[in-house]
Structure 1
Amino acid sequence: MTQLYLVRHGETEWSRSGRHTSVTELDLTDDGVEQARSVGQRLDPRDFDLVLCSPRLRARRTAELAGFTDCQLTEDLAEWYYGDFEGLTSDQIRQHYPGWRIWFNGCPGGESADEVRARLTRVVARVRGSGVERAICFGHGHASRVLALCWLDFPIIFGQSFPLEVGSVSILGREKESAAVVRWNS
């Protein structure tokens, strides 16, 4: 069975401050550049037969700086579209929507949980159908968590229990007959 590596992009100004970033194009901070290079020190592009990447600048730059220069861009790996909440922190959102959590409430003017799950389910099908030993996806915090949930066939609300750090590497695979998290936030 294919092992799927997930790489969350390196730090941006907005990820540092906790601002929700979906379609806004931001480059990596100096720390983000170092995080991306660190991924390249741990992973060899030659070990992967399928390399997928979100088309957003921060994901592309992370892949490039990690040495993965031959990526297939796919909109299916883009971050959850935050709509009216783009650029806001969770605290700012909760000032108007007390108790808001993306996993339960979604984003007005943005994507629904079902829409995000549908496109990340397509990524899982693509990876599993590829027949490769190892695949890697360069993406984002919320979308990569949903991707992991699709891999595991877990409800989307479980995403709250799988935080992803910037510049992290996680591995999905199997434990005997079950889909499993092999490593998280490495």
Structure 2
Amino acid sequence: MSLPLRLYLIRHGETLWSLSGQHTGRTEIPLTAHGEEMARGLGQRLQGIAFTHVLSSPRLRARKTCELAGLGQPDGEPDLAEWDYGDYEGKRSMDIRKERPGWTIFRDGAPNGETPQQVSDRADRLIARLIALDGNVALFSHGHFGCALATRWIGLPIIEAQHFQLDPASLSLLGNAPSRPEVRVIALWNAAR
């Protein structure tokens, strides 16, 4: 008998750009010393959990968080990558809104980057592969994509991801309702150590 699927969604530790609020999609930014400490702290929270799969965004900050958390070398999963911010890479939302009042990544996307529909489709594609797995699955990812994934997990349109927040080195849990396994739920969200 297979174990129920439980997705442990983990955002990478702190980087200089996560501190400053700069959008970090494809740029390889290392963890700060504090970010490394945060990742090690995740290891204490994850200790004793038997994972059937450990998957990570290809970005260094996510892979390093996984390693420092004590889960070894993860399997690369390109669909766990952060939003491609295109022309907004390295920019802060508050600066973008000076030129585009009311802008939100989840409605407007980024010029020369991914659209909300592309990110929604990517999350759906990943979910279709994840639901074929069972047991505890660790997913090391990023802030905006993690919010998009959770939103799509519970069947909401991607615009609703604007109501979610993922802090660095946070842990969230996606699964199914115990009494109604066909219903997907967010069992834990944005838990800090």
TM-score normalised by the chain length of structure 2: 0.92
Kindly provide the CA deviation profile for residues 137-166 of structure 1, in whole angstroms up to 9, marking residues without a partner as x. 000000111111121111101111110110
1:8 aligns with: 11
1:153 aligned partner, one-letter code: G
Aligned partners of 2:49, 2:188: CA distance in 1, in Å? 20
- The structure 1 segments of at least 4 consecutive aligned residues displaced by more than 3 Å after TM superposition are none
Work out which of the residue numbers 167, 180, 185 in structure 2 matches 1:180.
185
Which residues in structure 2 correspond to 1:49-128 (within 5 Å)? 49-128=52-131
Residues paired across the two proteins, number: 185
1:49 aligned partner, one-letter code: T
Structure 2 residue ranges without an equivalent (≥5) = none
Work out which of the residue numbers 27, 32, 54 in structure 2 matches 1:29.
32
Three-state SS of the structure 2 residue aligned to 1:135 is strand
1:44 CA drift (Å)? 3.0
Question: Cα 1:45–1:7, aligned 2, differ >3 Å: closer, same or farther?
Answer: farther
Question: Cα 1:45–1:8, aligned 2, differ >3 Å: closer, same or farther?
Answer: farther
Richer in helix (by share): 1
Structure 1 residue ranges without an equivalent (≥5) = none
1:87 CA drift (Å)? 0.2
Three-state SS of the structure 1 residue aligned to 2:14 is coil
Aligned partners of 2:55, 2:109: CA distance in 1, in Å? 26
Identity of aligned residues (%): 46
1:159 aligns with: 161
